[in-house]
Amino acid sequence: MEKVQALGGPDLLCLDLKLPDTHGVSGVREMRAQFPNVPIVVLSASPAVDFEELSLDAGADVYLEKSSGASHLTQALRALITNDSETSDSRLPVGEKLSRRQRELLQLLDRGLSNRELADHMEISEHTVKVHLWRLFRRIGVKNRSQAVHWARSRGMI
């Protein structure tokens, strides 16, 4: 914590579930407690079916499999840390400004598309879809797809 105090907090945390000083998702819980507003990515060799839900429940924002390939991982991580405020809708209050991609995502969510279908339509990986969803939900203060669609409808966006 001395380094954090001296240098400032992290912009992004990437964790592996198999670190020597943690057991499973305990590291995720610990980091979430210390850095409640920092995106946490679990980057694991374990298949998502084994640990994704546990990781997300523990406080991770995204679960990425190492086997996804460098381009998919890079794309997903870049989406988490990219600042898209310069492409946001200036008519909305500061907390509700959305990028072009986020507005597109809301429209696609309204059509009920799965993550796979979103990925195909947007020409990105499913991991990157999850990152975009996380960023959208965080930006507008909702927890799931239904709430996001309701939020957008109540503002006349879809």
Q: What is the mean pLDDT of residues 8-21?
A: 85
Q: Give the DSSP H/E element, type plus range, for residue 35.
A: none
pLDDT tens column, 21-48: 777 788 999 998 998 888 888 988 887 7
Domain 87-158 has CATH 1.10.10.10: yes
Predicted local distance difference test score (pLDDT) of residue 51: 84
pLDDT at 93 (0 to 100): 54
- What residues does CATH 3.40.50.2300 cover in the chain? 1-68
8 Å CB contact between 59 and 24: no
Homologous superfamily (CATH) of 1-68 is Response regulator (3.40.50.2300)
Q: What is the mean pLDDT of residues 57-72?
A: 85
Q: Model's pTM, two decimal places?
A: 0.59
Q: How many CB atoms lie within 10 A of CB 150?
A: 12
- Residue 91: per-residue pLDDT: 47
